[in-house]
């Protein structure tokens, strides 16, 4: 074998070895990738199986919890059942308990045939402490509140009830008579939140108000639009002595919630957060939402007479931010004549000659004529 032949054999052998090692390396890498993919696939299958097993176990646990809950519901103790019952009703079946009421009268005959309009219609309540001397003013107020939307409740502080029969609305009104008591005394005892729970809004008004420019339906529409929980109509300054500027009417506004004052001991600006600068109404004509009244009723003390000081605390019952939810409605406004009435009374047995202040009736007639 010559030298050239030997070189050819060596070169060929080298090429074959190189091809073998290169091919083996490529095949080995491809095999590794396949093995890796197989391993990942196996792991994924294992994870999927574990998830499925966990899901099955959770379903089993849920079924067990539901079975336990059903058993607990079927075996509820009397103590647990009584937790949601009013005090004193524990012995009654749950289905027979009625927690709230209303001021709707019930006729001896089938009252449903006598009931007008939609029985599910939202109603509100007008409650006033009244005396017979102001009957003309009171009549004008009540005539503004249609019976299809409002229930009227009169608190007679002078004991005179029969003399109101001349008005058509009288037979539909609720009358409560106790001598020489203020509207807050009456409200605490006869306007419990559970009794007036069906009424959207509570108008708790004085009797010496002028309503020539007031419409209660439009008023409530504005109150709902503005989200006011506690409110009052603005006071017309031309016929009313305004004690707090925040209650004075702004001719160019629909509603306002704060006042501005740069003189005196109390100063009010955009940064004020306390009453009477913001979130405040006066006590002669407040209007409460159902929720606000439920809260406010609990603040009325049993010996409260004129509600002095209560006005500054009503913000606690504003169902949120008093700076937003308490306001004065300018678009619907009233007059407040500021008559001294309670304590200057005419009893059923007294005559006009025995009245302590005979000029008060003349004053009322003058006010009626001015309207």
Q: What is the pTM of this model?
A: 0.70
Q: Let me know if residue 32 belongs to a domain.
A: no
pLDDT tens-digit readout, 273-320 = 999 999 999 999 999 999 999 999 999 998 888 777 898 999 999 999
Question: What is the pLDDT confidence band of residue 145, given thresholds at 50, 70 and 90?
Answer: very high
Write down the pLDDT at residue 330.
Answer: 98
**Other residues' Cβ atoms within 10 Å of the Cβ of residue 282:** 19
The answer for residues whose C-beta is within 8 angstroms of residue 270's C-beta and 6 or more apart is 258
pLDDT digits (tens, 9 = 90+) for 155-203: 999 999 999 999 999 999 999 999 999 999 999 999 999 999 999 999 9
For residue 129, being part of any structural domain is answered with yes
pLDDT score at 297? 96
pLDDT band of 117, cuts 50, 70, 90: very low
In the chain, how many domains are there? Answer: 1
The confidence score (pLDDT) of residue 207 equals 96
Nearest Cα residue to 356 out of 335, 340, 338, 369: 340
Token pair recorded at residue 226: 């503005």
Task: Give the percent of the chain with pLDDT over 70.
Answer: 74
Confidence of residue 255 (pLDDT cuts 50, 70, 90): very high
Residue 317 domain boundaries: 120-370
CA dihedral sign of residues 135, 136, 140, 143: positive
Give 26-84 pLDDT, tens digit per residue: 555 665 566 566 666 777 777 777 877 777 788 888 888 887 777 666 655 555 566 67
Task: Over range 321-347, report the average pLDDT.
Answer: 84
User: Is residue 136 predicted with pLDDT exceeding 90?
Assistant: yes
21 is a domain residue: no
pLDDT of residue 360: 46
Give the residue among 231, 228, 234 at the shortest CA–CA distance from 211. 234
The predicted structure's pLDDT at residue 6: 60
Q: Is residue 169 part of a domain?
A: yes
More confident residue, 333 or 80: 333
The answer to whether residue 112 is domain-embedded is: no
- Summary mean pLDDT of the chain: 82
In a domain, 261, yes or no: yes
> What's the pLDDT at 346?
46
**pLDDT for residue 3:** 59
Query: What is the token pair recorded at 199?
Result: 């009424």
Q: What is the mean pLDDT of residues 101-121?
A: 65
Which pLDDT score, from 0 to 100, does residue 35 have? 59
Segment 5-30, tens digit of pLDDT? 666 666 667 667 666 656 555 555 66
CA–CA distance, 268 with 249 (Å, rounded to integer): 17
Residue 75 lies in a domain: no
Least confident piece of the model among 137-141, 171-175, 203-207, 265-269 = 265-269
The encoded tokens of residue 102 equal 């209303």
What pLDDT does 295 receive? 96
Neighbours of 343 (CB within 10 A): 11
pLDDT of residue 53: 79
Of 265 and 207, the one with more pLDDT: 207
Residue 40 included in any domain: no
Domain of residue 354, CATH code: 3.90.550.10
- How open is the CA angle 217-223-226, to the nearest 5 degrees? 140
Residue appearing with tokens 């379903």: 59
With a cut of 90, say whether residue 232 has pLDDT above it: yes
pLDDT of residue 84: 73
Residue 48: half-sphere exposure toward Cβ, Cα within 13 Å:
6
């Amino acid at each position: 074998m010559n030298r050239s032949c030997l070189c050819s054999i060596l070169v060929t052998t080298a090429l074959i070895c190189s091809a073998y090692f290169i091919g083996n390396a490529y095949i080995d890498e491809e095999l590794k990738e396949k093995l890796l993919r197989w391993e990942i696939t196996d792991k994924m299958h294992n994870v999927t199986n574990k998830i499925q097993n966990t899901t099955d176990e959770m379903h089993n646990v849920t079924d067990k919890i539901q079975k336990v809950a059903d058993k607990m519901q079927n075996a509820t103790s009397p103590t647990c059942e009584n937790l949601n019952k009013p005090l004193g009703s524990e012995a009654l079946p749950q289905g027979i308990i009625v927690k709230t009421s209303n001021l709707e009268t019930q006729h001896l005959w089938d009252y449903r045939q006598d009931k007008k309009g939609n029985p599910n219609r939202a109603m509100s309540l007008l409650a006033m402490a009244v005396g017979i001397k102001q009957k003309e003013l009171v009549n004008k107020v009540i005539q503004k509140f249609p019976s299809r939307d409002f229930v009227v409740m009169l608190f007679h502080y002078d004991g005179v009830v029969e003399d109101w029969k001349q008005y058509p609305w009288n037979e539909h009104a609720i009358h409560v008579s106790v001598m020489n008591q203020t509207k807050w005394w009456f409200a605490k005892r006869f306007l419990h939140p559970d009794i007036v729970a069906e009424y959207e809004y509570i108008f708790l008004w004085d009797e010496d108000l002028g309503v020539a420019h007031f419409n209660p339906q439009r008023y409530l529409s504005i109150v709902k639009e503005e989200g006011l929980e506690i409110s009052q109509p603005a006071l017309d300054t031309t016929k009313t002595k305004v004690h707090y500027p925040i209650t004075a009417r702004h001719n160019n506004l629909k509603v306002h919630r704060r006042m501005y004052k740069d003189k005196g001991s109390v100063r009010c600006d955009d940064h004020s957060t306390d009453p009477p600068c913001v979130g405040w109404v006066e006590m002669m004509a407040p209007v409460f939402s159902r929720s606000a009244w439920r809260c406010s009723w609990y603040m009325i003390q049993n010996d409260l007479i004129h509600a002095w000081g209560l006005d500054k605390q009503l913000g606690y019952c504003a169902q949120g931010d008093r700076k937003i939810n308490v306001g004065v409605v300018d678009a619907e406004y009233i007059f407040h004549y500021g008559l001294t009435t309670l304590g200057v009374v005419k009893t059923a047995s007294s005559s006009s000659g025995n009245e302590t202040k005979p000029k008060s009736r003349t004053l009322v007639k003058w006010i009626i004529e001015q309207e």
